[in-house]
Structure 1
Amino acid sequence: MGEDKIKYMIGNIMTKHCLLCKTEKVCGEFLVCDSCKAKFDLSPDESDFIENFLQSSYTKVGSKERLIYMSSSTECVLGNCRRFLNNFILSVYNNSCDPLDILAIATTYARMYAAERPLAIKYWELFLESPTDLPPITNLFGAKLYLKWHLYSTFANIYESEYQFDKAIQMLKKCIEVDAGTNSSDYIRIGDVYVKIDTKAAEEYYLKTIENENVTEDVRNRCKAALADVREKIQRGYVYRPRKAKQ
């Protein structure tokens, strides 16, 4: 289907009503009504940017990649535009059953406030129930954000922040698999999580890793240094205490 025909469909079918609120009518090729834009205090330039971005998303990006493209692109914009686009993604696609849409929603929540982390986890675990291969991502920034290592690393951090340490370790082990054990930092991050669980468990983890013949010399040396630090913590009687949530 040609681009002109797609634009015709957008102008004459999809935009009878605002894509966001689905009640207000919009004119011409506009996709979002003025009322929805007003809620985010968009300036005229920001409003133009939003319309141009959405037009591009719906005319130049394939449907499979669309939400991945939109979600990753929010990292490149700031302020009101980012808030609007996050809201648009979560409002319009929140009930999608497509695995890639679910992944895009998960990563959108992941890049928002700490209060949204449980929702990021919810949608990430929904995605893991029926994972699918990502389509080729033409957006260079999006291609980086949706690398397997980056996804596992992101959600390892989120699980750790939510004190779900076992799941954080699972994600970091996935990072090691993706990098074929070449990134020593992944091993140290696992050790850091074990320290929060129990320093003795961290000591045992480092000893096993150091004795593992398959790890690189860099991994082994960094684990030896980390082991010395853990043993010093054990001598001090260190116990991890989570921060109190802000009221």
Structure 2
Amino acid sequence: MTDKIALVTGAAQGIGYACAEVLAEDGFRVVLSDINAEGVKAAAEKLDGDHIAIPCDMGDMDQINAMFDKIEAEVGPVHALVNNAGVALPGNFLDYSLEHFQKVMDVNVTGVFVASQRAAKTMLVKGIEGSIVNMSSINAVVAIPAIPAYCASKGGVMQLTKAMSLALAPHNIRVNAVGPGSIDTEMMAGVNANPEAMKMAMSRTPLQRMGSAREIGNAVAFLASERASYITGETIYVDGGRLGLNYVC
């Protein structure tokens, strides 16, 4: 698949970088994007092969379109889009600012919509039967009161995934999502450092461990590949069994 291009947003570290790494191993030429310009450049340089980095704020619609202009002009059309970039911005619901709520929605939902629409339009023009994989969360289904905007946004991603999959199915463009549970990334560093917090996290995780970013990357790469050629409109939850649990372990 050396002639196929994959774009991964939020790819400077953690889950995004793991997605880029597995896709590169699967033969894609990967474009890594992130708001952290230096971090994403370093991430691209770590990968074996001819991969590139493009800084982009996924909350800025003009930057998203400029990124696609650059990719299409200098690299080629995107065959696989991974909408991984996201923000949480925790806060108390009663004091939560509209500014923070809108910022989360801009990046986590509107950015996904704009990037997906742009990628899909080019796929249609080029006759590409491509794949879009969105990063949802178990918080699309179960809520945490301290992250109201994040929960709302991931529910939106889940439904947007379904709507896009139906719209693009006649063109053989598949759209799916991955919903991580407790994953050992920088966002979970505070839990790792707190035995009580870790105990609570594991009490709701039947496999009794955190997942790895690589395990999320594997699921994303599967959905982006021909191995998932008859799967569209689905969210695969990679959560150690959490959503199936109706009591603590």
The answer to whether the superposition gives a TM-score over 0.5 is no
TM-score between both structures, scaled by the size of structure 1: 0.25
> By percentage of residues, which structure has more helix?
1
Give the structure-2-normalised TM-score.
Answer: 0.24
